[in-house]
């Protein structure tokens, strides 16, 4: 039958951040399946059918991809960033587990991509250079109380933190509450980074403290990072590009701040 299914990460936006592995899969595919703006990142060509679907259609999209692969198509399910971090890979396996057992013999692979977290971290320095955690702040699929519990435990563990989906238009109050919890747990001097649309033309970066942070500094395209108690700033000397004026933010490898 010859069909296969690859769940692939397109990275944060810049084509120079798409791995050759993913590019090769796209070049060999008969079908690309995904959320409309991600599918549109794949150039049309003869022999390729692009199936764009709405957000929050993840399970139906995954079933469609499995069905296509089961009937001999070569299918790439595209995610932004990395497919394994709050993206399509988990949805695909949820659909696979709930579907007909024969599909478990399909040739399925997950192809990693540059996650928004790694791209944002690179842009400002190395804020995740020591132990860290990664939390989806959307309460679509989990109770808000669990998010708050995780924020408090992450602060107690002194992790650096990366937050996905910080602020939806439908529930902007969630992020305001998250900032309050973090200020209480980490203090107003703790560093926070707002990295929006990294590697796209709309990229913007802002480095501030929890005391100065405002909820409207984030939207759904923003990756937010909060430092550990050891995370530090380095002011850059004046340079030409706008990016140069944002200070570097990094978390030393050692808890004492001492080098090796």
Which residues ranging from 11 to 50 are in contact with its own copies (CB under 8 A)? Answer: 11, 14-21, 24
d(CA 32, CA 202): 25
CA 259 from chain centre, in angstroms, equals 30
For its own copies, the closer of residues 46 and 241 by Cβ is: 241
Q: Is 85 in the site for its own copies (CB under 8 A)?
A: yes
CB atoms within 10 A of CB 181: 16
Q: Is 112 in the site for its own copies (CB under 8 A)?
A: yes
For its own copies, the closer of residues 169 and 237 by Cβ is: 237
- Considering only the stretches 69-77, 123-131, 176-184, 201-209, report the one whose residues sit in contact with its own copies under the rule CB under 8 A: 123-131
Q: Is 136 in the site for its own copies (CB under 8 A)?
A: yes
Min. distance of Cβ 151 from its own copies in angstroms?
Answer: 9
Min. distance of Cβ 76 from its own copies in angstroms?
Answer: 14
Min. distance of Cβ 162 from its own copies in angstroms?
Answer: 10
Q: Is 200 in the site for its own copies (CB under 8 A)?
A: no
Instruction: Establish how many alpha carbons lie within 13 A of residue 15's alpha carbon, considering only the half-sphere containing its beta carbon.
Output: 6
Q: Is 166 in the site for its own copies (CB under 8 A)?
A: no
Give the closest residue to 182 by CA, choosing from 214, 131, 226: 226
Are 209 and 232 contacting, i.e. CB atoms less than 8 angstroms apart?
A: no
What are residue 58's phi and psi, to 5 degrees? -60, -45
Are 64 and 51 contacting, i.e. CB atoms less than 8 angstroms apart?
A: yes
Min. distance of Cβ 60 from its own copies in angstroms?
Answer: 9
For its own copies, the closer of residues 33 and 216 by Cβ is: 33
Q: Is 90 in the site for its own copies (CB under 8 A)?
A: yes
For its own copies, the closer of residues 169 and 241 by Cβ is: 241
Q: Is 69 in the site for its own copies (CB under 8 A)?
A: no
Q: Is 53 in the site for its own copies (CB under 8 A)?
A: no
Min. distance of Cβ 38 from its own copies in angstroms?
Answer: 17
233-242: list long-range contacts, CB under 8 Å, 24+ apart: 233/191, 233/207, 234/125
Q: Is 2 in the site for its own copies (CB under 8 A)?
A: no
For its own copies, the closer of residues 46 and 129 by Cβ is: 129
- Match 């030393």 to its residue by tokens: 252
Instruction: Establish how many alpha carbons lie within 13 A of residue 110's alpha carbon, considering only the half-sphere containing its beta carbon.
Output: 15
Alpha helices, DSSP H only, in the chain? Answer: 20-28, 36-39, 58-70, 88-98, 116-124, 144-156, 173-186
Q: Which of 46, 47, 201, 259 binds its own copies (CB under 8 A)?
A: 259
């Amino acid at each position: 039958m010859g069909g296969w299914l690859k769940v692939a990460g397109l990275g944060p936006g810049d084509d120079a951040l798409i791995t050759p592995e993913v590019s090769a899969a796209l070049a060999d595919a008969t079908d690309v399946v995904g959320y409309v703006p991600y599918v549109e990142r794949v150039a049309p060509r003869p022999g390729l059918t692009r199936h764009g679907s709405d957000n929050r259609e993840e399970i139906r999209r995954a079933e469609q991809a499995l069905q296509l692969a089961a009937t001999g198509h070569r299918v790439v399910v595209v995610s932004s960033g990395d497919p394994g971090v709050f993206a399509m890979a988990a949805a695909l396996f949820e659909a696979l587990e709930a579907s007909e057992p024969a599909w478990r013999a399909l040739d399925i692979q997950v192809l990693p991509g540059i996650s928004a977290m790694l791209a944002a971290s690179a842009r400002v320095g190395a804020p995740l250079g020591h132990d860290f955690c990664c939390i989806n702040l959307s309460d679509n699929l989990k109770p808000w109380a669990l998010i708050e519990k995780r924020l408090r435990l992450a602060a107690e563990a002194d992790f650096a933190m990366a937050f996905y989906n910080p602020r939806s238009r439908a529930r902007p109050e969630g992020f305001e509450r998250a900032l309050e919890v973090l200020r209480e747990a980490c203090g107003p001097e703790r560093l926070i980074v707002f990295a929006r649309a990294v590697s796209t033309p709309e990229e913007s970066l802002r480095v501030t403290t929890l005391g100065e942070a405002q909820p409207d500094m984030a939207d759904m395209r923003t990756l937010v990072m909060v430092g550990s108690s050891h995370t530090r700033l380095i002011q850059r000397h004046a340079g030409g590009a706008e990016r140069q004026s944002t200070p570097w933010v990094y978390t030393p490898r050692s808890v004492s701040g001492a080098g090796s």
